[in-house]
Amino acid sequence: EAGVVQSPRYKIIEKKQPVAFWCNPISGHNTLYWYLQNLGQGPELLIRYENEEAVDDSQLPKDRFSAERLKGVDSTLKIQPAELGDSAVYLCASSSGTSGYNEQFFGPGTRLTVL
Amino acid sequence: GIQVEQSPPDLILQEGANSTLRCNFSDSVNNLQWFHQNPWGQLINLFYIPSGTKQNGRLSATTVATERYSLLYISSSQTTDSGVYFCAVEWASGSRLTFGEGTQLTVNP
């Protein structure tokens, strides 16, 4: 069974440019998460989807970040415009959402460098 | 929000040694996971363990939910065990995982 797929793996952009990250979750997983990981820290949630619905986006900086999950499968996270402080690893995770069992599985991440 | 504390922050071992990593959390949790983040940044699932004890090869974990802590045991460590070990908790089913700061493990040959 394929794991969580993310692309690109690395991205280097100049500040004020837009950037987008793509995630394909594990087949059959209804819940999808985007996390941000800064160097030397644990990941922190940006947004959580249940199927197509964003049910927790309280930590998403909505002035420059947006996300979508069309058809409840793939998801895209966008930053526009990017700032120097956005340099980090962006991780996508998914879980089955089965009641009482919610193990999360992570993709390899996209390492963003903003110059 | 819920607080997660891991100790020690750094650990250096010789190959073959055993170690215990600790995770304390501040409130009742629905889920607890241990991850190993390898040098390439991939988070690898080690255990899904909201309570009880599990073993997988040289690794085992115990969570005592009533006392709000979990332990990860690594026996006969190998150089490939190097990396950062994260504990993460979920306070309600399907909610976010809150991660600790991690334990940086270095296993020398």
Inspect the interface and report whether the beta carbons of B41 and A106 lie closer than 8 Å: no
Residue B94 has pLDDT above 70, yes or no: no
User: For testing the chain A interface, which of B43, B46, B85 should be mutated: the one with the most A CBs within 10 Å?
Assistant: B43
Q: Which pLDDT score is estimated for A99?
A: 61
Q: What does the alpha-carbon distance between residue A19 and residue A7 come to, in Å, rounded to a whole number?
A: 12
Distance of CA B77 to the CA centre of its chain: 15
Query: Is some CB atom of chain B closer than 8 A to the CB atom of A83?
Result: no
Q: Per-residue pLDDT tens for A30-64?
A: 999 999 999 999 999 999 999 999 999 999 999 99
Q: Which pLDDT score is estimated for A65?
A: 97
Burial of A94 (0-12, 13-18, 19+ CB in 10 A): buried
Q: Which pLDDT score is estimated for A100?
A: 66
Chain B residues with CB-CB distance to A104 below 8 A: 33, 88, 97
What mean pLDDT is predicted for residues B62-77? Answer: 97
Query: Is some CB atom of chain B closer than 8 A to the CB atom of A33?
Result: yes
Closest in B31, B94, B100 to A31, CB measured: B94
Q: Measure Cα distances from A33 to A56, B2, B77, B84, B96 in Å.
A: 9, 19, 32, 21, 8
Dihedral angle sign, alpha carbons of residues A27, A29, A34, A39: negative
Q: Per-residue pLDDT tens for A59-93?
A: 999 999 999 998 889 999 999 999 999 999 999 99
Closest in A42, A45, A102 to B86, CB measured: A42
Q: Per-residue pLDDT tens for B73-84?
A: 999 999 999 999
Confidence at A98, pLDDT banded by 50, 70, 90: low
Mean per-residue pLDDT of chain B: 95
Q: What does the alpha-carbon distance between residue B12 and residue A111 come to, in Å, rounded to a whole number?
A: 27
Contact status, residue B99 vs residue B88, Cβ threshold 8 Å: yes
Query: Is some CB atom of chain B closer than 8 A to the CB atom of A41?
Result: yes
* DSSP characters over B28-70: --SEEEEEEE-TT--EEEEEE-SSEEEEETTEEEEEEGGGTEE
What mean pLDDT is predicted for residues B48-68? Answer: 96
Nearest CA in chain A to B99: A42
